[in-house]
Chain A
Amino acid sequence: MGLLVLVVACVGKGVPAGQDQGEIPGIPSSAAPGDRLDPVDVPSTTTFDAAYWLELQVECLRDKGWNAQFDPEGPSLIVPNVEGEQRLELVRASAECRTAVGVPEPAELTEREIRTRYERLIAVAACLEAEGYEVKPPPSFEVFLREWREGSPWHPYLSVPDDLSPGEWRRINRVCPQP
């Protein structure tokens, strides 16, 4: 019985497959003002709201005494000025919080869902080019699919140069959001 309770605790906090999008906490809202891309209809099993899960983890880390802050840019969670052995303690606390809030494991995508991602990335590439960036041309879908399964697919943001100011990095992520 104890095991069963543990299973429910471990599995129950994730985003259940097939659930109506409107009832799931953490489903992405529509594109932010200024975004150029139209929202794509992606099945609920594979949608994921990073901000929702990060905000929960910020609360958890604060409860543990860490100066965690939520940054809507990204979005991401920040803890400033952590040095030496404190960093490992923070990683440990962060892993505990990830488990405690129940961040769902990434879903295995179907070929159709991967194709939706591929098409979305091509739109992002066009957006980056319109912003003046030179983007490596996309591979065929067959090549992209193989790369995806190998864990290293083509991505237009890999073409964005490193010597970009943080402000410009934030700007292009707002104008041409990564799917």
Chain B
Amino acid sequence: MMRRTAMLVAVTLFFVLAAGWTAWAAVWKTGTKYCSPQSTPATRAYSSGTTEHLSPGSGYRKFENGSEMKVTRWYAFGDDGGSWMVIVTGGALDDPGTYAYCSSIG
């Protein structure tokens, strides 16, 4: 009986720790990007998991990629730029595949 209880506690602790760890496991990439008035600032991410784009400017967009690595983009219409950030929770972020740029076609 004691062994079963100890096992239950151990299993419970494992799941609590696992849930807690994954809930807080986040990676991000950040920077600053300004564009000329003829172009639109944008962010591109190559990632899995929950992917949040804080565009260079004032926008926010969130994607749910699940297990798949996907290419996601967010165009910051009406902004000339500023600080940007891509945050990934519960997944992977590909560093060279994630950046801000100026899209020449608005």
* Chain A residues close to B by CB (< 8 Å): 3-4, 6-7, 10-11, 46-48, 50, 53-54, 57, 71, 74-83, 87, 90-91, 94-95, 98-99, 103-107, 109, 117, 148, 151-153, 155, 157-158, 160, 162-166, 169, 178-179
Contact = CB atoms under 8 A, between A and B. Distances in A.
Interface of B: 8-9, 12-13, 15-16, 19, 22-23, 26, 42, 44, 46, 48-50, 52, 54, 58-73, 75, 87, 89-94, 96-97, 101, 103-106
A78 B22 contact: no
Contacts, number: 134
Contacts of A151: 69, 92-94
Contacts of B94: 151-152
Contacts of B65: 50, 106
12 contacts: A10-B16, A50-B65, A53-B64, A78-B61, A81-B58, A87-B54, A106-B91, A155-B69, A158-B97, A160-B71, A162-B44, A166-B103
A113 to B, nearest CB: 8
Nearest to A8: B15
B68 A78 contact: no
B91 to A, nearest CB: 6
A50 B104 CA distance: 30
Nearest to B67: A106
B100 to A, nearest CB: 10
Given A10-B16, A82-B60, A106-B90, A163 B105 contact: yes
B48 to A, nearest CB: 6
B68 A105 contact: no
Given A76-B62, A151-B92, A164-B105, A10 B52 contact: no
B62 A165 contact: no
B16 A3 contact: yes
A153 B47 CA distance: 10
B70 A178 contact: yes
B71 A78 contact: no
A155 B71 contact: yes
Contacts of A166: 73, 75, 103
A11 B15 contact: yes
Contacts of B63: 50, 54, 74-76
